[in-house]
Amino acid sequence: MSYDNELYQQVILDHNRKPRNFHIIENASHNCHGVNPLCGDDITVYLNVDEQAGKIDEVSFQGSGCAISKASTSLMTVFLKGKLVEDARKVKDEFHKMILGEMDPEKEEHHLGKLTLFMGIREYPSRTKCASLAWHTLVGALDKKFDGISTE
Amino acid sequence: MSESITSVADNILNVENIRKDFPILTQTVRGKPLIYLDNAATTHKPNSVIERVRKFDAEEYGTVRRGAYKLSEKATQLYEESRQKVADFMGAEKKSEIVFTSGTTQAINLVANSFGKRFVNAGDEIIISNIEHHANTVPWQVLCEERGAKLKVIPVNDAGELMIEEYEKLLSSKTRMVAINQVSNALGTINPVKKITEKAHAVGAKVLVDGAQSIPHMKVDVQDIDCDFYTFSGHKMYAPSGIGGVYGKMGLWEELPPYVTGGDMIMQVTLEKTTYAKPPARFEAGTPPITQVIGLGAAIDYLNEIGLDKIADYENTLLEYGTRLFNDIEGVRIIGNAQHKASIISFYIEAAHPHDVVTLLDQDGISCRGGHHCAQPTMIRYGVPATTRASMAFYNKPEELDALAESVKKCIRFFSV
């Protein structure tokens, strides 16, 4: 009964069932609401950023959506904790290139760590936005986009 | 699969023969035979349409309505023959009552704009329902905003049926237009458009019926419904995309100003003033999608050959069979259980989001739609973010529904572990 695909790996299914950092941070220094209007994925990302050190101290999220969007956001929060803002933005770009198939993490240098789990998305162009919503929303939070962001 | 369903279906039409007419259905997806169940989104084309379009482009193509030479005259004649086919297909009195548009969306925008400009003023009211496609919601919302009119919404019961007694309460002398689909794209509900029209006319309101989901699946007679406008899309009735249209009663068309302006829709243009052509030309500015119109005519010939009554009977058999299969799957909730339904099964699985469901169905070669189906108010009404939708056509087989049910069960197990 298994499926022959790289998309729904065990780790992704696990983060979908038990999303990590799945709560609101009260009085967060940054937050942003992100939606995929075409499919209805809807998340809010919360951050506490140490402005002086340029470091992400705390990160969490809330929301609803498909397994890919939920797992992607959950894994992003785990990845980001303690990272420099500058590095987070770099990884966002690498992540994006990977899921669009523009960068092959098996052949090129990268800083994605565990996030290469989402490499399989490149075979499913209609699901790219499910995986990237978390990262667009992160950047929206860092850039203080108070109106929220949309992938369309 | 039960033998009886196959024999019941076989008695109505020979699906294996039908499938030979649709070359796209023979392909495989990810190594599995394609099972195409997204017919409410768009349908595939039979060989006769593909070949007619090829022949027209290769041998007969020319501009319409203006060239005084052989190619153009012939193309114009074929173009107008297609208009006649559309008129006959939906029971219009005259072919000039059919205006070609790019599809239903543009058709409803045309009516909302032209009718709105002429007849809708501050304080007036427009009625739609809670189960409309965005194409039959947003144009009316925009019109109401622009004109200071009010949008009223007919509620639906839990089964997905319009609450007619509530509709009657919404009607008044302020009602200018009732815009309603004949079949809901998200739920499959068949709405009682004849009754709705009669009640609207009793208060002096006009009626637009969105027929995008009904015209490929049931016999339509606009004069029997007595609606004032009826819109449709070619690509949902086995014709090319980019063509559709709207039927309107001639008396009403004549009173309406144009929506899009430019060439071909004029009587005379001076730099000071333009007078407009008669309908339908008044509403068909610019060079139309000529080849697509010819393809639409060929699709109508094909449907007539099989017969809409047979198509409706066969698809109804598929719907009943599919509904039985789905009712037996634990963890599946069918959204939309109207007594009168077209061949659409919209369902929700607690264990998995519809987008994950359709990705996994696709692994088994099955094309279904997962999403809000451009009907977000409908999703809100039933408390789901989205649904998975299987929409059937007369080229689908009962075995394909067995495969769908098995694939859905597999998907539930996958996400429940």
* Alpha-carbon distance A38 to nearest alpha carbon in chain B (angstroms): 8
Q: With an 8 Å Cβ cutoff, are B355 and A13 in contact?
A: no
Rounded Cα distance between B127 and B140, Å, is: 9
- pLDDT given at position B393: 98
Question: Is B374 designated active site?
Answer: yes
Rounded Cα distance between B153 and B136, Å, is: 12
Rounded Cα distance between B251 and A103, Å, is: 62
Residues 6+ apart with CB under 8 A from A2: B414
Rounded Cα distance between A27 and A13, Å, is: 31
- pLDDT given at position B307: 97
Question: What residue ranges define each of the domains in chain A, with the CATH number in brackets?
Answer: 10-144 (3.90.1010.10)
Q: With an 8 Å Cβ cutoff, are A124 and B356 in contact?
A: no
Exposure of B309 in the CB half-sphere (CA atoms within 13 A):
0
| CATH (residue range B3-46+307-416) | 3.90.1150.10
Rounded Cα distance between A46 and B182, Å, is: 45
Q: Which of B144, B227, B374, B411 is catalytic?
A: B374
Q: What is the helix (H) or strand (E) element at residue B15, kind and residue range?
A: helix B15-20
| pLDDT tens for each residue of B161-216 | 999 999 999 999 999 999 999 999 999 999 999 999 999 999 999 999 999 999 99
Rounded Cα distance between B224 and B92, Å, is: 10
- In A, minimum Cα distance to B388 occurs at A39
Rounded Cα distance between B174 and A9, Å, is: 58
Q: State the amino acid at position B116 in one-letter form.
A: G
In this structure, how many other beta carbons lie within 10 angstroms of the beta carbon of residue B286?
11
Q: What percent of chain B has pLDDT over 90?
A: 90
Residue predicted with more confidence, B404 or B275: B404
- pLDDT given at position B251: 97
Q: With an 8 Å Cβ cutoff, are B415 and A13 in contact?
A: yes
Which of A3, A13, A66 faces B355 most closely, judged by CB atoms? A66
Q: Which CATH class is domain B50-305?
A: alpha beta
CB A131 within 8 A of CB A119: no
Distance from the first to the final alpha carbon of chain A: 35
* Alpha-carbon distance B401 to nearest alpha carbon in chain A (angstroms): 18
Task: Indicate the pairing of strand B366-367 with strand B35-36.
Answer: parallel
- pLDDT given at position B66: 79
List chain B residues with CB under 8 Å of A130. Answer: 355
Which of A2, A3, A67 faces B353 most closely, judged by CB atoms? A67
Residues 6+ apart with CB under 8 A from B409: B329
- pLDDT given at position B2: 62
List, as one string, the DSSP characters of B126-188.
Answer: EEEETT--GGGTHHHHHHHHHHT-EEEEE-B-TTS-B-HHHHHHH--TTEEEEEEESB-TTT-
How many angstroms separate the Cα of B198 from the Cα of each of A147, A149, B192, B357, B387? Answer: 46, 46, 10, 42, 33
List, as one string, the DSSP characters of B255-283.
Answer: HPPPSS-STTSEEEE-SS-EEEPPTTGGG
Instruction: Calculate the CA dihedral of residues B344, B196, B297, B343 and round it to 10 degrees.
Output: 10
| pLDDT tens for each residue of B100-132 | 999 999 999 999 999 999 999 999 999 999 999
Q: What percent of chain B has pLDDT over 70?
A: 99
Indicate the SS3 state at residue B25: helix
Domain boundaries, chain B: 3-46+307-416, 50-305
- pLDDT given at position B30: 87
pLDDT at B18 over 60: yes
Partners of residue B101 on adjacent β-strands: B244
Tokens of B362: 């696709």
**Which runs of E-coded beta strand occur in B293-373?**
332-334, 344-349, 366-367, 369-371
Give me the interface pTM, i.e. the ipTM.
Answer: 0.88
pTM of the model: 0.94
* Alpha-carbon distance B44 to nearest alpha carbon in chain A (angstroms): 21
Q: With an 8 Å Cβ cutoff, are B386 and A65 in contact?
A: no
Mean pLDDT of B289-316: 98
Q: What is the mean pLDDT of each run of 10 residues along chain A (152 residues)?
A: 78 94 96 88 95 96 95 97 96 97 94 95 92 96 86 78
Q: What are phi and psi of B66, to 5 degrees?
A: -140, -25
